[in-house]
Amino acid sequence: MINKKNGLGRGLDSLIPESVNDDQNRVFEIPLCDIEPNPDQPRKEFNEQAIKSLSESINEVGVLSPIIVRKKDNKLFEIVAGERRWRAAKMAGKKKIPAIVKTYDNKLVMEVALIENLQRQDLNPYEEAIGYQTLKEAYSLTQDDIAKRVSKSRSAVANSLRILSLPGFVLDEIRKGTVSAGHAKALNSLESDELKKILLYEIVKNNISVREAEELSKRLSQKKRSNLIKRNFKKDTYTIEVEDKLTKQFGTKVQIKNGKIKSKIEIEYYSEKDLERILEKLNRM
């Protein structure tokens, strides 16, 4: 049973775009035992201390902003937005909670839950990225579509989704809150897991800032490229054999110098007469 109650929680309602509002804006008092969380909601981590603080506030002044729920086939209600308040109300020993009952489909439930969490800044970067990925893959939304729905730039959504390409050892730190979205972007700019581990260590153990992480990422990339170039330029057995053959043929030292774009052969000579001798050999070849 739900009891009708007058009024509307403007705070929560303002989080939902006009396009997803409907005329079912009545607030009901619904038993907490008749409500269950949404298993697909973007937020996966709940700070117990924050829930405790919220429950103490609820004990003092009650739930100021209704949660949003939808009716399920099993006659229970599923939370669309407001799981923290639901958890805190349970912790406070409340029996009922003010709620607005909506008739949202699965896509709209995900959108509203994501919008609420983003605007309340409750999501960590990993949870935000998972929310975008769900909208993209499950509901075929483009990055532009997602950006419009959550009032973010397309580049912000794209950068968030790139987080999911990071290796598991980085994602674990993001979930724990030790790596920020800015740190994650710096980590994503590195090509190898080996370099990512070096930068991650500095972020987690030495608590370097995002700017410092970006600078270190550039230095690591430059060093990696420099080492790679040196390895590529290192003479192989074939090059050495050719050098030896040409040295014997011309009777003077010959060096083959490999370059990134172009390479060259150097033939040493010590006088005009020596140069003429070498030119004669070249003409006969």
Residues known to be catalytic: 83
Q: Are 269 and 252 in contact (CB under 8 A)?
A: yes
Here the tokens at position 49 are 């201390």
